[in-house]
Amino acid sequence: MFPVLLPADRVLLTAASLLWTRLFCSSLSVPDIPHIATYFGTKTRYEDAYPHLLQDVYSVNTSVLRPPATERCSPVHLTAVIRHGSRYPTAKNIRRIQRLSELVRTGASRGSAGSWLQELQSRWVMWYTEDMDGQLVMKGRDDLRQLAKRLSVLFPSLLSEENVRRRRITFLTSSKHRCVSSVEAFQEGLLLRGGGARGGDSEVEYSHQVDDELMRFFDRCRGYVEGVENNLTALQEVEKFKHGEEMEGVRRRMMERLSLHHEHLTPDLVEAAFFLCSYELSIKSLHSPWCFLFDDHDAKVLEYKSDLKHYWKRSHGHVINGLSSCPLFHHIFRNLDKAGRPRRSTEASPEPASVLVGHAETLLPLLSLLGLHKDQTPPTADNYHLQHGTKLRLLLTDDSAVGGA
């Protein structure tokens, strides 16, 4: 068994990482940050969860993750499962944003707009288009470059520029554009460490393989698709909370602030406004006027609604969620066993690293299969007030774990 330790360097939320190392003995300017920035769950920026990154994006918290002393142990292999970087909203969410924008425009044109609505109308213009559809943004590329550099500082012999250029490192990715762009950015970060490639350098030859069987296993697991994805009852706790007292309170307060009619502002549009705040912070480092519509209580409720969905759809809520990641689990530990196998001096050294880039939907089932951050009492629509500070929130804001042997 590999001991599981607490995460050291946050690799989510907008890009997440699960790391295993097999060890054998022988200044950034600080933007105006919304007061609710820490409630964005898997959409939280690295630097909002770990403020030291605001001062130095390459700093590593070595008090939490410190490789063993080299005189006692030497790392021979690293496997990293990483979520893609910050991205544009998906086409589905952009359509919701378009409906929200139309609602604001229509409300203002009726002449009954309050000061909140007038503020939105004057300070914000709809700029999202459906062709953006979840593509990686520049901030997301920077996230992955910086992550690569931080990891290469911790494991310089494994994540070296030479190993990248000689293609000794395996890079696997989901077929989604944001994941392919993320794995390219990660390689750029490793080359930047040695003074090599720059972002968008046409001379860089990226080396990666697309493998949806591993990185999008959830699409191929019949038990998961039938038991959760296409099962209307699988997310009943989410639906109950979505239409329950707490969410209704958030909707009512937002309706009053915007002077909108009750029936026009649906729970989905309330959530779209909340996500707008997170998207514009992660994409443009912008304190969006949408952020001012929510106080801390509203943000906690909306975060919990999102957490509930992740729990029941991707995490510990259903056993099949974790089991669906078995192909990836076995792939990882086969690599670790191979790297740790005794070999003759004449045999080639093991592959130094394997970097796999996927989605939150890739990470969460895998972390659940490993039994990480599991609370004794599952979150439900009825126990919102008992769930603050739980392991679920750690799971959805860290999305990383480190182990060694």
What are the pLDDT tens digits along the chain (405 aa)? Answer: 333 332 333 333 333 445 544 444 433 344 578 999 989 988 888 888 888 888 888 888 776 666 666 667 788 899 999 999 999 999 999 999 999 999 888 765 555 556 777 778 888 999 999 999 999 999 999 999 999 999 998 899 999 999 999 999 999 999 999 999 999 999 999 998 655 445 445 566 788 999 999 999 999 999 999 999 999 999 999 999 999 999 999 999 998 888 877 678 999 999 999 999 999 999 999 999 999 999 999 999 999 999 999 999 999 999 999 999 999 999 999 999 988 887 777 677 789 999 999 999 999 999 999 998 888 889 999 999 887 765 555 555 554 433 333
Asked if residues 34 and 40 have their Cβ atoms less than 8 Å apart, the reply is no
Between CA 184 and CA 199 the distance in angstroms is 9
- For residue 265, give the nearest of 139, 396, 99, 114 by alpha carbon: 99
173 backbone dihedrals φ, ψ, rounded to 5°: -145, 155
CB 275 within 8 A of CB 291: no
Select from 394, 335, 376, 401 the least CA-distant residue to 41. Answer: 394
Return the number of other C-beta atoms located less than 10 Å from residue 196's C-beta: 16
**What amino acid occupies position 318?**
H
Q: Pick the catalytic residue from 84, 331, 359, 373.
A: 84
**115-123 helix and 91-109 helix, angle to the nearest 10 degrees:** 120
Cα 193 → chain centroid:
24
In 3D space, the residue among 4, 39, 43, 44 whose CA is nearest the CA of residue 388 turns out to be: 39
SS (H, E, C) the chain: CCCEECCCCCCCCCCCEEEEEEEEECCCCCCCCCCCHHHCHHHCCHHHHCCHHHHCCCCCCCCCCCCCCCCCEEEEEEEEEEECCCECCCHHHHHHHHHHHHHHHHHHHCCCCCHHHHHHHHHCCCCCCHHHCCCECHHHHHHHHHHHHHHHHHCCCCCCHHHHHCCCCEEEECCCHHHHHHHHHHHHHHHHHCCCCCCCCCCCCCCCEECHHHHCHHHCCHHHHHHHHCCCCCCHHHHHHHCCHHHHHHHHHHHHHHCCCHHHCCHHHHHHHHHHHHHHHHHHCCCCHHHHHCCHHHHHHHHHHHHHHHHHHHCCCCHHHHHCCHHHHHHHHHHHHHHHCCCCCCCCCCCCEEEEEECHHHHHHHHHHCCCCCCCCCCCCCCHHHCCCCHHHHHHHHCCCEEEC
The residue type found at 218 is F
pLDDT of res. 2: 33
Catalytic (active site) residue 84: yes
